[in-house]
Amino acid sequence: MPDVIPLGTSDDPDAADARMGIELWRGDAPSPRLVITAHGRNGAARAPHMLKLIDAYRQRDYVVLSPDCCASAWNDSAGTEADFLLENHVRDVRRTADWAVANAGEIGWSGGHLALSGHSMGAYAAARLATGDYAGRISHLLLVSPFTSGVRQIEAREKYHPDGIANLRRDVPRALDEWPRHDIFTVIDQLTLPIAVFAGGLDIVAPPENVREFVDRLPVPPHYRLLPEASHCLEGSDYQAELLNAIDWLDAAGSPSASA
């Protein structure tokens, strides 16, 4: 089981010091490699689909940090589903990275190889950090069912979900105003690091055509896999082999010899 690290003290999910937890998974020996696995909206660090990512990285001897981001009905961090803001989700993944860097020695990490992996809006948060505060410091990204833009997300709700917009307005009151301010395509040219992308063939939240647009617009071809039986949360199989192959590809692509 992981160690749980408390971070922040405020019960206000909009506060810079909002209360959240970080789950720390590590082996008996120190590792030069660490990954942050970021769940999506209304998620949890140890949700079944997130454990698939955690387990794959642990098999490759990574230290794994998994934040329980704020504003979710499925974890104990500050806020509820109705409080969700995407900017706060990015903030919480950033806080996790900041904590990792500040406490590298104590958690058995050399402080060198830092990877980011995320699902849905956690994938968006990871990509934004790789082009923002952590630009040039991220070794790779592994993105599952990535949110790409608020406009695309709202279009998908209108297309695939009965009463999708009405339900969104009810469940996440600030979404229609806030999500359209977020668009990974405004910074996609900066994503030149090794990237792996997984899409679910049955996904109606981040539908395959949206993920494919992201893949096609990346400046460097990624490791891309469409999982035909999966919906939004890696359903259909454990996908262990696919995830391990992706991590191996990413590690090889990011090694000094690969870029020489």
Residue 67 belongs to a domain: yes
pLDDT tens string 69-81: 999 999 999 999 9
- Residue 260 has a pLDDT of 31
Is the per-residue pLDDT at 258 higher than 60?
A: no
Q: What CATH number has the domain bearing residue 46?
A: 3.40.50.1820
Question: Going by C-beta distance under 8 Å and a sequence separation of 6 or more, which residues neighbour residue 244?
Answer: 56, 59, 60
Residue 258 belongs to a domain: no
Residue 8 belongs to a domain: yes
Residue 260 belongs to a domain: no
pLDDT tens string 174-215: 999 999 999 999 999 999 999 999 999 999 999 999 999 999
Residue 257 belongs to a domain: no
Is the per-residue pLDDT at 31 higher than 90?
A: yes
Residue 259 belongs to a domain: no
Please give the model's pTM, rounded to 2 decimal places. Answer: 0.96
Which residues constitute the domain of residue 62? 3-251
- Domain count of the chain? 1
- Residue 255 has a pLDDT of 63
